[in-house]
Chain A
């Protein structure tokens, strides 16, 4: 089996990361999953959340993804996200503002409205961004 595992996180704007890693944890829609080298081919959609990976030096890293797709091959994990940011790249003030906006909208809209769902997702994204940005020690 392949020894290395390559993690690629791609957004429409750029490559966020492309490097060899030991393990990747990603937020699948049906639950979080972990990938080690030699994983069986696997395709899933992602919900907004965090990707946690250990690079070849054993250091843990966090990346925020806004949802998207992931293709896992024995030697490669490709993540296609509409937006993705490394922990240190997250704009926390912007995330806080987004959270406030989403909460306001949630208070106004009716629960069966499509805007309600969108606001809920926006809120979830903002919370996740803030949580990742505030994570210490990584």
Chain B
């Protein structure tokens, strides 16, 4: 049986832990809101862009850009792994890393070399511990406030590396934000760009106009200009989704931790009360025993 003092100090320590997890939960909640706003702000741009891109892809000639052409021989691939910088967010990073590892093993078994580009410290640490080749790492992006320029700078580097033959395919692994409870990892091919669906903009009032667009400078040139931007958009989207997911995962994890603290405090308080009652009973027995003996 634990002594009263031991139980008491345990309760105090669990209460303090609870304060921390509760605070982290609240911080994550407010950051989540910010990240969601950023995601919503991005959506109109992304939707409009893919609509226009679909329009153009329709009119441009076949395989107009090297970014669209698959290589015949694939020796090296680059995996862009997006994780968070910090932990305490449940299985979030583990899931992402597991997805990347699966992809890596699959490619290695086909005789390819795998490089990594890391967004986020957790993925980078995993790569280091497993002796993976890291081409580039970007920290303090995921989960923080970042602009589109992060995506365009890193995207340009990936495109340069692809074009000069450093690697033949680029994949991105990021978390898909489906809600507070679910952020499954997603693997997407970035380069070469998979076939673009021609004009899939079914939601708009397309029927109202039928006239052909005049396109300047020319469909091919415009496509060539839009394709790199499309890569940047994908990266930006991945970063936004991963950031939002990170906060959601942390919120959930911290919520669970707070609940676990509450359970523990309840159990400990029960134990404390039991111990206190036992002590009182014992003292009473002593007193009564003493009194009886005096009467004698």
Verify B45–A11 contact, CB threshold 8 A: yes
Q: How far in angstroms is the closest Cβ of chain A from B145?
A: 10
Q: Which B20-64 residues have C-beta < 8 A from chain A?
A: 38, 41-42, 44-46, 48-49, 52, 55-56
User: Which residue of B45, B55, B233 contacts A43 across the interface (Cβ within 8 Å)?
Assistant: B55
Q: Does A40 contact B (CB under 8 A)?
A: yes
Verify B216–A43 contact, CB threshold 8 A: yes
Given contacts A10-B48, A80-B48, A80-B52, contact A43 B41 (CB under 8 A): no
Give me 20 A-to-B residue pairs in the complex whose CB atoms sit less than 8 angstroms apart, sorted by A's number.
Answer: A11-B45, A12-B45, A12-B46, A13-B42, A15-B41, A29-B217, A41-B211, A42-B215, A42-B216, A43-B52, A43-B55, A44-B215, A44-B216, A45-B221, A45-B222, A45-B226, A69-B225, A73-B209, A80-B45, A80-B52
A45 to B49, CA, bound (A): 12
Verify A14–B41 contact, CB threshold 8 A: yes
A110 to B21, CA, bound (A): 55
Interface centre among A42, A44, A80 (most CB of B within 10 A): A80
A4 to B64, CA, bound (A): 37
Q: Does A138 contact B (CB under 8 A)?
A: no
Q: Is the interface of B mostly helix, strand, loop or mixed?
A: helix
Q: Does A52 contact B (CB under 8 A)?
A: no
Q: How far in angstroms is the closest Cβ of chain B from A105?
A: 15
Counted as pairs of residues, one from A and one from B, with CB atoms less than 8 Å apart, the total is 74
Verify B41–A13 contact, CB threshold 8 A: yes
Q: How far in angstroms is the closest Cβ of chain A from B184?
A: 24
Q: Does B291 contact A (CB under 8 A)?
A: no
Q: How far in angstroms is the closest Cβ of chain B from A72?
A: 8
With a cutoff of 8 Å between Cβ atoms, the chain B residues found around residue A15 in the complex are 41, 44
Verify A83–B148 contact, CB threshold 8 A: yes
Q: Which positions in B face A, CB cutoff 8 Å?
A: 38, 41-42, 44-46, 48-49, 52, 55-56, 147-148, 151-152, 209, 211-217, 221-222, 225-226, 229, 233, 236
Given contacts A43-B56, A43-B222, A80-B49, contact A12 B148 (CB under 8 A): yes
Q: Which positions in A face B, CB cutoff 8 Å?
A: 10-15, 28-30, 40-45, 69, 71, 73-74, 78, 80, 82-83
A40 to B209, CA, bound (A): 10
Nearest B-chain residue to A39, judged by Cβ? B214
With a cutoff of 8 Å between Cβ atoms, the chain B residues found around residue A42 in the complex are 213-216
With a cutoff of 8 Å between Cβ atoms, the chain B residues found around residue A41 in the complex are 209, 211-214
Nearest B-chain residue to A44, judged by Cβ? B216
